[in-house]
Amino acid sequence: MGQIWEKHIHDKLKELDKYLLDDYKKIKESEKQKRDYPKYEKEFMKRLKKAIKNLEPLINEATLELRIYRGKGERPKLNVNQKLRIILIKQLIDKSNRNMAYMLDIFTMISGIDISYKTIERLYSDAEVDMALHNFFLLLLKKKNVNDVDASGDATGYSLIISKHYCSVVQKLKEKAKEQILDVNKRKTFAYQFVIIDLKTKMYVCYGTSLISERKAFDKAIQMLEYMGIKINSIRLDRYYSNPCYADIFKDSVFYIIPKTNSTLSHGESWLNAMKSFVENTINHLREYYKRENSESSFGCDKKMFGWRIMQKREDRIDTAIFCKTIWHNLLWAYSD
């Protein structure tokens, strides 16, 4: 086609609504029917066993070089190795602080750890734990050799109150659910998480959280991505990010998006290239775009495995709780075949 106009985008969107999306969905449904779910469950349990087996040596490596200056005063009961072990195990079994403390009482003879549930809660705002978790995250990506990736980005929400489930609210409110919703007592109901996933290894390469909106979580994830120095070869984002400013953020990447009905072209080369791909090579564009399903299915697995609620109340502790879920996701995929 060569040169495209805004009319081409709008016409292609009409085709999409009429028949292209239906045809594509039929293809995807036929692919789903071929999936072997018993095999998937077997492979998942295999990965979980490997992850648990390697947890202790990874914790040792992540905390080996950590040093923190302490002034005068009482020394903490736990060293950083024990802190990291407790917070990760707690996230895996999805127990409350009080129940986790009771479980530690039971295993005191084995672990040598005797602490209260308040001590466990304080781990979520502990500077040593924060540094150790960061080291752990980097270590997993290094072991899997994640440097440059074809990626998908998406967001989800974790419930802060038991009466609200994020999936149900999103189905009802659509885009409005992407900004903070208050309950009748004016409490915040969700913590947002935005994650970029490597499609090859299924590992998260960066993440961000926010109690305000999905967009704020996205901004934090991009800050982390810049710090990590991981190259994004291609990126897939949902229609919420169908805006030239997001194409500019990923100007060195192939940008897969479905445009909004009011999309225009006068916004720079990155956006123009994305629109050309959508108009001129629609089926392949859709095939690449819908690899975003990896993000959605990963969130589903994470919540099934590690819970859909966040029990912490302080913002810094909420962030740590979500970070622990992120690390467990990567830990499970780090030992996939």
Average pLDDT, the chain: 83
- The region of weakest confidence among 65-69, 137-141, 270-274, 293-297 is 65-69
What would the mean pLDDT of 279-284 be, rounded to a whole number? Answer: 88
Instruction: Convert the pLDDT of each residue in 41-53 to its tens digit.
Output: 778 778 888 888 8
pLDDT at position 37 is 61
- Provide mean pLDDT across the span 158-183: 77
Range name among 103-107, 112-116, 286-290 with the lowest pLDDT average = 103-107
Output DSSP code: residue 213: B
pLDDT digits (tens, 9 = 90+) for 54-82: 888 999 999 987 877 666 666 777 888 98
Residue with tokens 């066993």: 49
Q: What is the pLDDT of residue 207?
A: 96
pLDDT above 90 as % of the chain: 43
Does residue 125 have a pLDDT over 70? Answer: yes
User: What is the average per-residue pLDDT within 79-101?
Assistant: 76
Residue 31, number of CB atoms within 10 A of its CB: 9
pLDDT for the residue numbered 288:
93
For residues 175 and 264, what is the distance between their CA atoms, to the nearest angstrom? 21
The secondary structure of residue 165, as a DSSP letter, is: -
| pLDDT given at position 27 | 56
Residues 6+ apart with CB under 8 A from 80: 63, 66, 68, 128, 129, 131, 132
Measured CA to CA, the distance from residue 224 to residue 153 in angstroms comes to 13
Query: What confidence score (pLDDT) does residue 109 get?
Result: 40
Identify the pLDDT of residue 282.
87
Give dist(CA 196, CA 154) in Å, integer. Answer: 7
Nearby residues of 168 by Cβ (< 8 Å), 6 or more positions away: none
Q: Residue 99's pLDDT is what?
A: 55
Question: What is residue 322's predicted lDDT score, i.e. its pLDDT?
Answer: 96
Contacts 24+ apart (CB under 8 A), 217-221: 217/155, 217/192, 217/193, 218/153, 218/155, 218/194, 220/194, 221/153, 221/194, 221/195, 221/196
Confidence (pLDDT) at 24: 59
| Residues 168, 177 contacting (CB under 8 angstroms) | no
State mean pLDDT over 94-108.
54
Query: Is 294 within 8 Å of 197 (Cβ atoms)?
Result: yes
DSSP of 297-326: HHHHHHHHHH-SB----SHHHHHHHHHHHH
More confident of the two residues 8 and 275? 275
| Mean predicted confidence (pLDDT) in 301-312 | 88
Q: What local confidence, expressed as pLDDT, does residue 128 receive?
A: 92
Residue 125 φ then ψ, to 5°: -125, 25
Contacts of 232 (CB under 8 A, 6+ apart): 148, 149, 151, 196, 225, 250, 252, 253
